[in-house]
Every structure is written in structure tokens, then in C-alpha cells.
Amino acid sequence: MGCLLSHLAAKFAFFPPSPATYGIKKREDGKLTVVASPSSAPSMPVPHPDDNSLDVLVIDTKRGNKIVAFYLRNPYARLTLLYSHGNAADLGQLYDLFVQLKVNLRVNLIGYDYSGYGASTGKPSESNTYADIEAVYECLQTEYGVSQEDLILYGQSVGSGPTLHLAAKLPRLRGVVLHSAILSGLRVLCHVKFTFCFDIYKNIDKIREVKCPVLVIHGTEDDVVNWLHGDALSKMAREPYEPLWIKGGGHCNLELYPDYIRHLCSFIQEMENITTKTRLKKIRQNSSLQKRSCCANPFTSSRCCRIKLCRLKLPKCSKPKCFSCSCSCSWWPKCPMCFRPGCGTCCSKPKCPKPKCPKCSCLKCSCLESSCLECTGSCSCCCLPCLQWRWCCCGEESSSKMIKKHEKKLANGDTGRV
């Protein structure tokens, strides 16, 4: 049921441009180039075929799709930026932005189209976007020798989902930028307090697993994703960088504000100054704090819908106490059929009430001794043989002796009556 609902949610979450704004063409030397789509705007910039700073890549994913990626080189770069774009865009629309970021931030930049976007094959879905960004990261490692220590992940809007998915798996990542990010797919539509199984892009859970500095950029007038999403993500991050709230900024125009590129440049420069030794020290500190928090809180394990569950404790069997002396060594049950007394002072045997005559129910003496016959003469029907109260306080043995004594008196002619 959860997979079906996730599939339905994906249909409403992804809106790839149709038709694509660019195409891929193979030259005679085997190099791939970008060509403009007939439906694209004439003003949209197209990469020059002889641009040696751009590599057009086709990457295979583990889910069998082929995705297109643009890799832009900067000869002065020390870090690489992996850009995951928003919902209704593709690489043809973002090429001009990539060039500006490459120059102003002085980084190498790689952007990719999700499965079903642009010239990439397949259909867009949450699981496909996870496979897409993992394939791009593997390509950076194998083809360009980029390690996670020199990598910054950038996610815009829906792109924050695959960005945090990969960031949670890379403990030595240099940094993360969240641009108009979402807490989860369902939280964009309505305010919910729990994370449901059928929700997509559960960033609210994955942000806590990111071990590197996180920069959040959000517009205060965003009418698609409320800025409270970014505020919550910044507060839940382990190492939050100073967030940027662009006053009056919407969902798709933050790049037009001067504060955007200025604040982003300062973040990149600070990430460049962080040495590997400092990063390893912070990682060790965070891991030790996480272990302490896990030991202190038994409910930190993963669970569906974030509902705390605890094991019910069975009530302990209480030991009955002696009613006379309230001693702690009193009765305890051995089996359901019998009881063994534990106190040998006052409660070794249960006390019985005064016996009654079975015929007339008159009260008799509790001593039941043969010498005490005054109390048995209150009625004509009472005789000692009828008072055979076995297992009484006198015990079975004393009752049998008393009956034998009474039978001897009867044999001698004594009736036992006064």
C-alpha cells in the first residue's frame, strides 16, 4: 500500500519540461555536444561545440536508466559542486546559471538531469533520483578523481531530496547547500506532525544524519515551499551554517538577488579553508555525541511514522503478608491448589472459627476436648462424633484421638450428656 501511494505521489511531484529544451548529438570524433531543441526559446544560450571546459556525459544508473550530465571545469577550482536542480527545469535552462556559478564561486560544477528529464531516459520517481545522484557521484570518483572531502552538494527544491540522501551516506563530505528545500513531499501540501510511510523525500529525518556544514537559502515570500521548511532544516542540522533569508524572494528567483551570490561565495571560501584535520576532528566529536545520545534515549531507533513504542511490563507477583504480625516471611504460594505457611511464629496454621453443630448450627466450644463436656449440653442433638471437623486448627490427628476417647466413654455407658 505504501509503495502504491508513493507511486501516486510521484505523479504529482515531478513536472519535467515537455518537450526537452535541448538535445544530445555525437560528433565525428565521438564527443557529445549539446544542440538546441526546436521548441526552445531563441534567447536561451547553447554551449559552443568547441568549448573544452564542458563535458557532456551519459551515465548509466543501477536502475537501468541513462542520464545526461554537464561537467564544467574551472582551472582555479579547489572544490567541486554537484548540483541537483528543481522540479520543472532541465539542463538546457540551467546552463547559463552553471557558467555563472562556476566563475563566481571558482568551483568545478556538475549538473545532471533526473530520469525522465531532458535527454535522460526512464521515468521520474523518488527511487530513480536516488540512483541518479549515486551514479553521478561514482562518475566523479572514477572519471575525475573527486573525493568526498572536496565535494559540496547543492540541492534546489525537489533536488534537496537526492542531495540529503547522498549527504547522509558520506561522512567526510565538505558541505551541503539547500536552496528552497522541503521537509518532505507531503509537508509541502499540508501541515503534518508525523512522517508517514507513503511520504516522499523525508528530508526531516535525513538532515540529522548529515555530518558536514549545511547552508540553507530560502525566500521569505516563497509561495510554493514555505520558508519555515528551510528554517526547520537549518535548526535540525548538526553543523548549521548561517542561513540566508532573502527578503521578498520567491521560489525560482533567488539567483537574481545580490545577497545570494555574496553569501554563497563566503560559504565556499570558508569550506576551502577547512583543512582535513579539522574536519576529522569535528567528525569524531559528532560521532561521540551521537553515541551518548543514543545510549541516553532508547527511542532513537528508526520507526515508521515516528510513533514511540515501549514494551509493557508485567505486574510482579506480590507476596501476601501475615495479617497478624505483618512479617515479611509470611505465606507464599507453592502451587494453585495449596499454600505453605512461611511464618513459624503466629501463622504456622490457619485459625478456624468456633465449630457449629451440623443439625442445629449452635455454637460449640473450640477446644473440642473430651474433658470439656459442659459446652456440648446446650442441645439434645449435639454429640462429639458429629463435630468431626477435619483439617481444623486442632488438626486431623488430634480429632481422631478425641473421637476414640469419646467412643470409649460410650462403651462404658457414658452418653456424653449432662
Which of 251, 330, 399, 406 is labelled catalytic? 251
In sign, the C-alpha dihedral spanning 242, 244, 245, 251 is negative
179 among known catalytic residues: no
Q: Can you tell me the distance from the alpha carbon of 275 to that of 160, in angstroms, rounded to the nearest whole number?
A: 26
Contact 40, 18 (CB under 8 A): no
Around Cβ 271, how many Cβ atoms within 10 Å?
21
Around Cβ 219, how many Cβ atoms within 10 Å?
25
Q: Can you tell me the distance from the alpha carbon of 80 to that of 140, in angstroms, rounded to the nearest whole number?
A: 9
222 among known catalytic residues: yes
Which of 157, 160, 330, 399 is labelled catalytic? 157
Beta bridge partners of 186: none
Beta bridge partners of 245: 218
Q: What is the DSSP string of 200-214?
A: S--HHHHGGG--SEE
264: cell is 554563497
Which of 90, 113, 199, 222 is labelled catalytic? 222
R_g over Cα of the chain: 43
157 among known catalytic residues: yes
Q: Can you tell me the distance from the alpha carbon of 317 to that of 268, in angstroms, rounded to the nearest whole number?
A: 65
Q: DSSP code of 376? A: G
Q: What is the DSSP string of 24-63?
A: EEE-TTS-EEEEE-TTS-TTS----TT-TTEEEEEEE-TT
Catalytic positions: 157, 222, 251
